[in-house]
């Protein structure tokens, strides 16, 4: 998948650095790529992120196009583990592991109700 970085993806926008791609935004791009790879799922099911272990290796400027590649490493029941990497101009800027779980969306959302 490809993502175009905008000001809302910058570290400075999040209050934590310069006008470069923020680590949280890079992780968001990675999650979206993994989610897309996990679909389609049966009606009423979705995936949710449960673990992220990535390294942000290099800065990328705002306005850059980021390519994110994901590969399913393992599927064990409802647990999906992905290798993911982000590239800018063909050079790796981030890499790591992302884990997602398949959930029933209705049941998952029920858990958010006040107790």
pLDDT computed for residue 76 by the predictor? 95
Alpha carbon distance 58, 86 (integer Å): 10
Closest alpha carbon to 70 in 104, 51, 98, 107: 98
**Domains detected in the chain:** 2-110 (3.10.129.10)
pLDDT computed for residue 39 by the predictor? 86
pLDDT in tens, 87-109: 999 999 999 999 999 999 999 99
Low-confidence stretches of the chain (pLDDT < 50) are none
pLDDT computed for residue 28 by the predictor? 98
pTM of the predicted model over 0.85: yes
pLDDT computed for residue 79 by the predictor? 97
């Amino acid at each position: 998948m490809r993502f175009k970085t905008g000001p809302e993806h910058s570290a400075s926008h999040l209050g934590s650095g310069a006008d470069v791609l923020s680590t949280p935004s890079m992780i968001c791009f990675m999650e979206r790529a993994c989610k897309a790879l996990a679909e389609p799922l049966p009606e009423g099911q979705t995936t949710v992120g449960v673990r992220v272990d990535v390294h942000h290796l290099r800065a990328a400027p705002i306005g850059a196009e980021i390519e994110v590649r994901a590969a399913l490493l393992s599927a064990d029941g409802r647990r999906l583990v992905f290798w993911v990497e982000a590239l800018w101009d063909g050079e790796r800027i981030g890499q790591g592991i992302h884990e997602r779980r398949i959930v029933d969306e209705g049941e998952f959302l029920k858990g958010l109700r006040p107790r």
